[in-house]
Amino acid sequence: MKARVGIIGAGPAGLLLALLLHRSGIDSFVVERRSRAHCESRVRAGVLEQGTVDTLTAAGVGERMLAEGHVHHGIELRFGGRGHRIAFEDLVPGRAITVYGQQEVVKDLIAANLAAGVPIRFEADDVAVHDIDGDPFLTFGADRLDCDVIAGCDGFHGVSRASVPANRLRLFEKTYRFAWLGVLADVAPSASELVYSASERGFSLHSMRSDLVSRFYLQVPPDARAEDWTHEAIWAELKARHETVPGFTLATGPIREVDVAVMRSFVVEPMRFGRLFLAGDAAHIVPPTGAKGLNLAVADVRVLAAALGEYCRTGSEAGLDAYSATCLRRVWRVQHFSSWMTSLLHRFGDGDGGFDRRIQRARLEGVVRSRAQATVLAENYVGLPYEDA
């Protein structure tokens, strides 16, 4: 088989790239080792930046997102017995976030690609990358796909980055001394916007997936296991960390899913190796505090799709040559914001006699009392304009 672009991974990055290429008249072939049902049911963060919403809408997959997603014009920072709203509509007029589950984005993208005739091979066995410095091709099962370019959109544990010799990679990584316990519950949200709570017991986040489904996160030790947390213990801890302001009561209900997410930052440089281009989690991981993972993948794909369009139309590789440097400028700015949000809200221990806790409180007070500092948080949270990268 042949295609101009071979894409590994049917997550948001790979699927959006395939759709953008199709709309530019460029053929691609998507290879995914998981089943379609798995891809469409894997629950991950669902906070979409303004630029992500605009990109999906322009690509023709925004109808259900705009109808069912929840547009939020602010978030709450909760600490010291009080809640403080960061008002996007005041600080960054015309820009907001939309809460719409990543699995819903994937459903929309799969449906749009299949309707357009873009081939997607689910449950592909033994996917492998070959000859990235010459005439690249993919193999999977008994099949071979020859292509001009390979896009590695297969996540942190995928085969794309693993196919690059170690001496060509420069890795930057930081692992935090805590993890997140993620909780998906069949209960209506107790707040209309996301609540980031920096309590004395540790960080917690109240989020939502719909009018009837809520998503919560608890800061836990790095070796925590989901099976060690009973549902009663989860609700007790969530209530203790969120019911810290007068008049707020956390609604409880049946818990559908519990998982543990490692908190890490990771970047690989460069993001191009010959004819192989990495995008999304294959190239970088950010701590989830700032809700940037999916959004950063979309930013990568926008750059890559434009560069591939130029290459296929004119033969010029200028955009492809600039791909890595262009993306990494934004990647490091997002890493900085995600790291800043993480350090602003989490407990890091009191081995310093409480000095760092008091500095952290001073930083929080600075954010909610200073319009300039609040604006920095707001403009990064809703997403930097692409031209600012």
Task: With CA atoms as reference, report the closest residue to 20 among 275, 283, 306.
Answer: 306
What is the C-alpha end-to-end distance of the chain, expressed in Å? Answer: 37
Residue pointed to by tokens 């999906």: 56
Instruction: State yes or no: is 72 an active-site residue.
Output: yes
Out of 288, 311, 323, 346, the active site residue is 288
Say if residue 270 is preceded by a cis peptide, omega within 30 of 0: yes
Q: Which of 206, 242, 292, 346 is catalytic?
A: 292
Identify any residues that bridge with 77 across adjacent strands, giving them in sequence order. 84, 196
Q: Of 326, 329, 343, which is closest to residue 290 (Cα–Cα)?
A: 343
**Alpha-carbon span 219 to 179, nearest angstrom:** 6
In whole angstroms, what is the distance from residue 294 CA to residue 272 CA? 20
| Token code pair at residue 244 | 């810290």
Out of 72, 73, 84, 284, which one is annotated catalytic? Answer: 72
Record the tokens describing residue 191, joined without a space: 């707040």
Q: Is 381 a catalytic residue?
A: yes
Residue ranges in the chain assigned as alpha helix (H)? 12-23, 36-41, 50-58, 63-68, 88-91, 102-115, 159-162, 231-242, 293-314, 318-345, 355-369, 371-381
Structure-token pair, residue 102: 């990543």
Could you give the strand order of the β-sheet that contains 255-269, starting from the edge strand earlier in sequence? 82-87, 74-79, 195-199, 202-208, 214-220, 170-185, 255-269, 284-285
Cα–Cα distance, 190 to 215 (Å, whole number): 11
Answer for the pair 6, 28: CB distance below 8 angstroms, yes or no.
yes
Q: Are strands 28-31 and 82-87 parallel, antiparallel or unpaired?
A: unpaired
Dihedral sign computed on CA atoms, order 352, 355, 358, 362: negative
The residue annotated as part of the active site, out of 176, 196, 311, 323, is 196
Residues 207, 184 contacting (CB under 8 angstroms):
no
Active site residue 311: no
Burial 19-35 (b: 16+ CB within 10 A, else e): bbbbeeebbbbbbbbbe
Task: Please say if 2 is a catalytic residue.
Answer: no
Question: Is 119 annotated in the active site?
Answer: no
Residues carrying an active site annotation: 72, 196, 288, 292, 381
